[in-house]
Structure 1
Amino acid sequence: MKDGVGGTKVPHIRETLDEMNFLLKKRYECRLIEIIQNPAEIEKYKQGLFNQWISILGSYREISEKDDRKLPEIPSEYIILGALAEGLVKIVLFFNKPGDYLSIEQRDRTLGKLRNKLITMIKEQKKEPDDKKIKELSDSLELIAMLRNNFIHFPFYFHDDYRFMWVFFQVFAHLLDKFSLWEYLDNSDVEFIKRVALNKPTGIKLLEVDLYEQ
Structure 2
Amino acid sequence: MTTPPARILIVDDEAPIRRFLRVALEAQGHHVTEAATGRAGIEAVALTTPEAVILDLGLPDLDGREVLMRLREWSQVPVLVLSVRADEAEKVALLDAGAQDYVTKPFGVGELLARLRGLLRDRSASAPHGAVLQIADLAIDAAARSVTKAGEAIHLTRKEFDLLWLLVSNAGRLVTQGAALEHVWGPAHREDSQYLRVFIRQLRTKIGDDAGDPRYIFTEAGVGYRFTNT
Instruction: Name the TM-score class by shorter chain.
Output: 0.3 to 0.5
Structure with higher helix content: 1
RCO greater where, 1 or 2, for CA within 8 Å and sep 6 or more? 1
Structure with higher strand content: 2
- Normalised by the length of structure 1, the TM-score is 0.32
- Normalised by the length of structure 2, the TM-score is 0.31
Larger radius of gyration: 1
